[in-house]
Amino acid sequence: MGANLPGTGGIGHRRGRSTRSAGGFNEINITPFVDVMLVLLIIFMVAAPMMTTGVTVNLPKTKSSAVPGNDEPVSITIKRDGTIYIQTTQTKLDNLGTKLQAILGEKKETRIFVRGDTSIDYGQVMRVIGEVNAAGYSKVALLTDMPQQAPRR
């Protein structure tokens, strides 16, 4: 006579299925999902600073501090040859206010950073700031490069 051991397929046992729930498997293992999300978070945290693009200019160097703020600023760049860019799109001085209004709409509190090459005329920078103010945007800041300091001994 054979003995019926638990889990051996004897009387009252179904082979391959758990008798815990009649409706099937009702728990979801989210550990792989969390693992994938953490890996993606790390990838984006590393890659996000590298995705900043813009127009290259030679900024003047000053001993100023960083501009505080939580919103994403709009950058206006004036290159050495006098061309003006909103982010990376070239524009003319006459269209600057209109394009800012098209981009920002009624967000009049948006910070706007003006970057000017060291060799351009100061009047050109002031004309750009004047157009930005005429469009209704008053949070305008001038960007500079921080000077390289010699290491302290």
Q: What is the pLDDT of residue 93?
A: 86
CA–CA dist 129, 123 (Å, integer): 10
Q: Show the low-confidence residues of the chain (pLDDT under 50).
A: none
Q: What is the pLDDT of residue 14?
A: 53
Nearest 5 degrees, angle CA 111-CA 117-CA 120?
A: 115
Q: What is the pLDDT of residue 34?
A: 92
135 within 8 A of 96, measured Cβ to Cβ = yes
Q: For 136, list phi and psi in degrees, rounded to 5.
A: 105, 10
Q: What is the pLDDT of residue 47?
A: 81
CA–CA dist 67, 132 (Å, integer): 18
Domain ranges, ordered by start, for the chain: 54-153
Token pair, residue 27, equals 């728990």
pLDDT tens per residue, range 21-52: 556 767 888 898 999 999 999 988 888 776 66
Q: What is the pLDDT of residue 123?
A: 85
CATH topology of domain 54-153: Nucleotidyltransferase; domain 5 (3.30.420)
